[in-house]
Amino acid sequence: MRWSRKSDLAIHQFIPAFSPGDAIGSEAVALQRTLQEWGATSRIYAGHIHYACEGRAEYFESYRPSSGDTILFHFAISSPLSSFVAGLPVRKVLLYHNTTPARFFRGYNPELATLLERSREELASLREGCALALADSEYNRRDLEALGFAPTAVLAVLLDLKRFDDPDPRDPSALEGSGPRFLSVSRIVPSKRIEDIIRIFYYFSRCISSEAKLFIVGSGDTGGSYLEQLKRFISALRLDKMVFTDSVSDTKLRTLFHRADALISMSEHEGFCVPLVEAMYFDVPIVAFNTGAVSDTLNGSGVLVNWKDPAEIAELIHLIASKPDLKARLLKGQRARLEFFRPERVKALLRGYLESAGIVFPHVLDKR
């Protein structure tokens, strides 16, 4: 065992908002832990901090740069952080998570649509002074390249899947009954096209199994009037076996995945899609619409569809659930793909990228 030497290395992260259950916030925590293990001082700074996350991040205005600092800036939307970061006299590494096109939010959340409209121009303004631009998918990397960023590279989202270690057997809503159980896990916003999942479920429950149940997991906070419109749509269809859970704890999400017969995604814009990897981890068959980075994330695993015929997709899901051999082949492919997202692999890539940008890590505790 070899002990580390002291170092003044500081690598801090900046994110627009730090909220529970948010994919970027969760990755920031995993990255912070990793950077600290490598001997760096690492803090998280945010523009907005949810009350449930107080004490785990600091407001970005409190940051005081020091010589030799490096910052990792997570970019997904226009925010005051962009101009703040652009003006900092430190080494900067961009972590790009893509930006949802504003057209999806017009008519639902005009304020958010306005932010999204100026996001791409704001992203381009970060090009100067950026030592390295990392994207979490090849789809996103090409976006950076088109804007003139260089060098660029792909770094998959660093996921802490071990946080799901504790199932919650006390949650009866997911476990009761013998019918099929389906999951949608995402923010409830217009780009996710939850209404298309509802149409699939409507056919399934009317024509295949009246005992089927659909859980729609995620927050609708940024979707404006979208969630209320979905609820009116469900009422008009007289669907009584759909559950909106809002954001849930890791233990409840594990319970839902454990009981699920399929994860369904009909989203029309994705820069990565973390729930796809979570479904791989829980051995849940994936049926996803082919858009954005979804094909990058799946890379031949799961089932990718290029159409949105509710009846055909419902019958496809039923075929997967009722044919053990087919399901086994699908899950085998998903397990193989999950290896690509192993934390050890992602961490090794990250360290290599940061070292290529001139960051020298101290010696850390070596238990070998």
Place 337 in a pLDDT band, splitting at 50, 70 and 90: very high
**Using one digit for the tens of pLDDT, what is the confidence trace for 34-90?**
999 999 999 999 999 988 888 889 999 999 999 889 999 999 999 999 999 999 999
Round to whole Å and give the CA distance between 283 and 183: 13
Query: Pseudo-torsion of CA 296, 302, 306, 309, nearest 10°?
Result: -150
**Using one digit for the tens of pLDDT, what is the confidence trace for 37-50?**
999 999 999 999 98
Round to whole Å and give the CA distance between 214 and 240: 10
pTM of the predicted model, to two decimals? 0.91
Average pLDDT for 253-276 = 95
Round to whole Å and give the CA distance between 179 and 216: 17
Round to whole Å and give the CA distance between 323 and 321: 6
Place 317 in a pLDDT band, splitting at 50, 70 and 90: very high
Query: CB under 8 Å to 268, separation ≥6 — which residues?
Result: 104, 191, 192, 193, 289, 291
**Using one digit for the tens of pLDDT, what is the confidence trace for 152-187?**
999 999 998 888 876 555 555 555 667 899 999 999
Place 4 in a pLDDT band, splitting at 50, 70 and 90: very low
pLDDT reported for residue 177: 64
Query: What single letter denotes the amino acid at residue 124?
Result: A
Domains in the chain, ordered, with CATH?
11-161+342-356 (3.40.50.2000), 166-340 (3.40.50.2000)
Residue indicated by tokens 């789809």: 139
